[in-house]
Amino acid sequence: MTRTAPARPVVPPRTMNARRLLVPAAIAAGLALLSGCAAEPAPEKPTPAATPTPTEAPKPDPEPVTPDPQANADLAAAVAANDGAAVASAIERGAELELRGEGGRTPLVAATKVNAIAAATALIEAGADVNAKDDIQDSAYLYAGAEGYDEILRLTLANGADLASTNRFGGTALIPAGEHGHVEVTRMLLAAGIDPDHVNDLGWTALQEAVLLGTDGADHQETVRLLLAGGADPNLRDGQGNTPLANAQARGMWALAELIQAAGGVQ
């Protein structure tokens, strides 16, 4: 009896195609696992280092200027002679601009105290401190204002004068200007923006000082007019509680009293 071979099961075409696709993929994956040669991600490219910005080499400190005793002596002599050219020459040779002399005076304070305009001009142009004070609290700026030295005051105002600085009585430059009736000084200081109502240690403003220590003459009249026009309070009382009008009337300053009353002053 002849045996008949069992019939093979018929595999549908789609199943056969899927198997053909899966077999090569499985083989490739298996080989990769066995060999440890699975593809690695590409290494990141290193970021190039930033190029350092070149820096300038530090500049060496300037050589200190050695004080020249002879130049200092020449400067003092030039100030006394009010010789601007000689002042400039001494400074160029190393004279000290802020060297303190008698009474703590700088060369500029010394020049101002004798109204040496040429010397003061040369010193200020060279950079002298217009606010430096001597032992009695006078600076070139304050002293020029108090004494009515218009040219030196103008130079100090143009070169950093401190309008709020005060003298040994606690007063600004405007207060002694009021006392002495310095018309041009008063005009310059008010134009520069000084406080017209600053009160000194005696309790006086510039207006009160003009009334209490001034005269009833033309210069004081003009000074008072400027002060009132510049914002001075006509009713600011002194340390004793008196108004400027009351003080003017008590002293017989009838011209000043009239100006103050016209500006709204009361007793």
Both 197 and 254 in one domain: the answer is yes
3-state helix/strand/coil string of 124-152: HHCCCCCCCECCCCCEHHHHHHHHCCHHH
pLDDT at 43: 52
44 lies in a domain? no
pLDDT at 123: 99
Both 188 and 225 in one domain: the answer is yes
Query: 221, 164, 152: which is closest to 193 by C-alpha?
Result: 164
Share the mean pLDDT of the chain.
86
The answer on pLDDT for 29 being more than 50 is no
Number of domains comprising the chain: 2
* Cα(225)–Cα(172) distance, integer angstroms: 19
Spell out the residues 6+ positions from residue 147 whose beta carbon is closer than 8 angstroms to its own.
115, 180
Whether residue 189 contacts residue 174, with contact meaning beta carbons closer than 8 Å, is answered with: yes
Both 188 and 149 in one domain: the answer is no
169 lies in a domain? no
Whether residue 225 contacts residue 240, with contact meaning beta carbons closer than 8 Å, is answered with: no
pLDDT at 62: 54
Both 201 and 152 in one domain: the answer is no
> Which pairs from 113-117 meet CB under 8 Å and 24+ separation?
113/138, 113/143, 114/80, 114/82, 115/147, 115/149, 115/152, 116/79, 116/80, 116/82, 117/82, 117/149, 117/151, 117/152
pLDDT at 205: 99
Which CATH number covers residue 201? 1.25.40.20
pLDDT at 35: 38
120 lies in a domain? yes
Both 133 and 214 in one domain: the answer is no
Q: What share of the chain is helix, strand, coil (3-state, %, to 5)?
A: 50, 0, 50
Range of the domain at 251: 181-267
Domain boundary among 131, 162, 193: 162
Mean pLDDT is lowest, of 54-63, 75-84, 128-137, for: 54-63
148 lies in a domain? yes
Both 91 and 135 in one domain: the answer is yes
* Cα(97)–Cα(105) distance, integer angstroms: 11
Structure tokens at 21: 């696709």
Both 156 and 107 in one domain: the answer is yes
196 lies in a domain? yes
The larger pLDDT score, comparing residue 34 to residue 237, is at 237
Mean pLDDT of 46-50: 54
* Cα(147)–Cα(107) distance, integer angstroms: 18
Model confidence at 13, pLDDT cuts 50, 70, 90, reads very low
Domain boundary among 130, 162, 194: 162
20 lies in a domain? no
Both 122 and 207 in one domain: the answer is no
187 lies in a domain? yes
In percent, the amount of the chain with pLDDT more than 70 equals 75
Both 196 and 141 in one domain: the answer is no
* Cα(96)–Cα(110) distance, integer angstroms: 14
Domain boundary among 102, 128, 162: 162
Mean pLDDT of 100-126: 98
56 lies in a domain? no
Both 200 and 262 in one domain: the answer is yes
Mean pLDDT of 95-107: 97
Both 153 and 189 in one domain: the answer is no
pLDDT at 68: 82
pTM for the model stands at: 0.76
Both 113 and 152 in one domain: the answer is yes
